[in-house]
């Protein structure tokens, strides 16, 4: 379950100020709805993807006993 700032609060901030977990959660959520997004929703999703890419992606390079290689947004 996601615990963090909602889209209303985040929409008033630059994507560069979002946490990785927020980017990951909203990317995943919007990715599930891509066929149904209007132009504004598609723009928001594209900006999130561009911010993730500018940070070098969300995948962890290695795993250890406390976490896997997938970023968790919980």
Quick one: pLDDT band at residue 47, thresholds 50, 70, 90? very high
Quick one: pLDDT band at residue 67, thresholds 50, 70, 90? low
For residue range 20-38, what is the model confidence (pLDDT) as tens digits? 989 999 999 999 999 999 9
What radius of gyration, in Å, describes the C-alpha atoms of the chain?
Answer: 13
pTM of structure = 0.78
Q: Which residue has the higher pLDDT, 54 or 69?
A: 54
CA distances from 60 to 40, 49, 64 (A): 30, 17, 10
First to last CA, the chain: 6
pLDDT at 74 over 70: no
Q: Which residues of 19-51 are buried (b: 16+ CB within 10 A; e: fewer)?
A: eebbbbbbbeebeeeeeeeeeeeeebbeebeeb
What is the number of residues in the chain? 74
């Amino acid at each position: 379950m996601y615990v963090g700032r909602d889209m209303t609060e985040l929409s008033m901030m630059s994507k560069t100020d979002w946490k990785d977990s927020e980017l990951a959660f909203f990317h995943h959520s919007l990715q599930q709805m891509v066929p149904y997004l209007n132009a504004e929703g598609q723009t928001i999703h594209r900006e999130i993807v561009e911010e993730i890419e500018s940070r070098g992606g969300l995948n962890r390079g290695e795993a250890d006993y406390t976490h896997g290689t997938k970023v968790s947004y919980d």
